Amino acid sequence: MWQRNLKYELTGMPRVIYNSGSYTMEVLNMRYIDADGHVEESPATFRDDYLDPAFRAQRPRVVAMDELVYWSIDEQLFPRRVGRGCNNLGTPTSYDGKPAIHTLGKPESIGCMELSDLKARLAIMDEEGIAVQVLYTTLFLAYPLSSNPRLVTALCASYNRWLGDRLGTHQRLKWAAVVNLDEAQQAVTQVHEAKRLGASAVMVLGTAGDRQLDDPTLFPFYESLCQNDIPLAVHVGWACPSLNNLYTHIYPSGVVAFHFPVLMAFAALISGGVLDRFPNLKAVFLEAGSMWVPYMIDRLNHRYQNQGKTLAKFLPQTQPVQALPVRDYIEKGNLFFSAELEDFILPQVMELVGEKQVVMGTDMPHGDRERFAVRHLQERKDISAGAMENILQNNPARLYGLDH
DSSP letters for 322-341: -SS-HHHHHHTT-EEEEE-T
How far is residue 228's CA from residue 352's CA, in Å, rounded to a whole number?
A: 30
Alpha helices in 141-183 (DSSP H): 149-166
- How many C-beta atoms surround the C-beta of residue 224 within 10 A? 22
The phi, psi pair for 36, rounded to 5°, reads -160, 80
How far is residue 90's CA from residue 112's CA, in Å, rounded to a whole number?
A: 13
pLDDT on residue 30: 38
What are the strands, taking DSSP E only, across 347-400? Answer: 358-360
pLDDT on residue 13: 42
Question: Residue 60 to residues 46, 272, 303, 359: CA-CA distances in angstroms?
Answer: 7, 36, 45, 33
> Which residues fall within 8 angstroms of residue 257, CB to CB, at 6 or more apart?
238, 240, 243, 244, 246, 247
Q: 338 forms bridges with which residues in the sheet? A: 359
How does 320-344 read in b/e, with b if 16+ C-beta sit within 10 Å?
bebeebbeebbeeebbbbbbbbebe
> Which residues fall within 8 angstroms of residue 295, CB to CB, at 6 or more apart?
none
pLDDT on residue 378: 86
pLDDT in tens, the chain (404 residues): 222 232 334 334 434 332 333 323 233 443 799 999 999 999 999 999 999 999 999 999 999 998 899 999 999 999 999 999 999 999 999 998 889 999 998 999 999 999 999 999 999 999 999 999 999 999 999 999 999 999 999 999 999 999 999 999 899 999 999 999 999 999 999 999 999 999 999 999 999 999 999 999 999 999 999 999 999 999 999 999 999 999 999 999 999 999 999 999 999 999 999 999 999 999 999 999 999 999 999 999 999 988 777 888 888 888 899 999 999 999 999 999 999 999 999 999 999 999 999 999 998 998 788 888 888 888 899 999 999 999 999 999 999 999 75
How far is residue 255's CA from residue 253's CA, in Å, rounded to a whole number?
A: 5
CB 300, CB 271: distance < 8 Å: yes
Strands, sheet with 23-28, edge to edge from the N-terminal-most edge strand:
3-8, 14-20, 23-28
> Which residues fall within 8 angstroms of residue 299, CB to CB, at 6 or more apart?
none
CB 86, CB 249: distance < 8 Å: yes
How far is residue 379's CA from residue 373's CA, in Å, rounded to a whole number?
A: 10
Which 8-state DSSP code applies to residue 58? G
CB 85, CB 143: distance < 8 Å: no
pLDDT on residue 20: 30
pLDDT on residue 334: 97
pLDDT on residue 259: 98
How does 138-169 read in b/e, with b if 16+ C-beta sit within 10 Å?
bbbbbbbbbebebbbbbbbbbbbbbbbebbee
CB 94, CB 110: distance < 8 Å: yes
How far is residue 134's CA from residue 32's CA, in Å, rounded to a whole number?
A: 11
pLDDT on residue 310: 85
H or E segment to which residue 69 belongs: strand 68-73
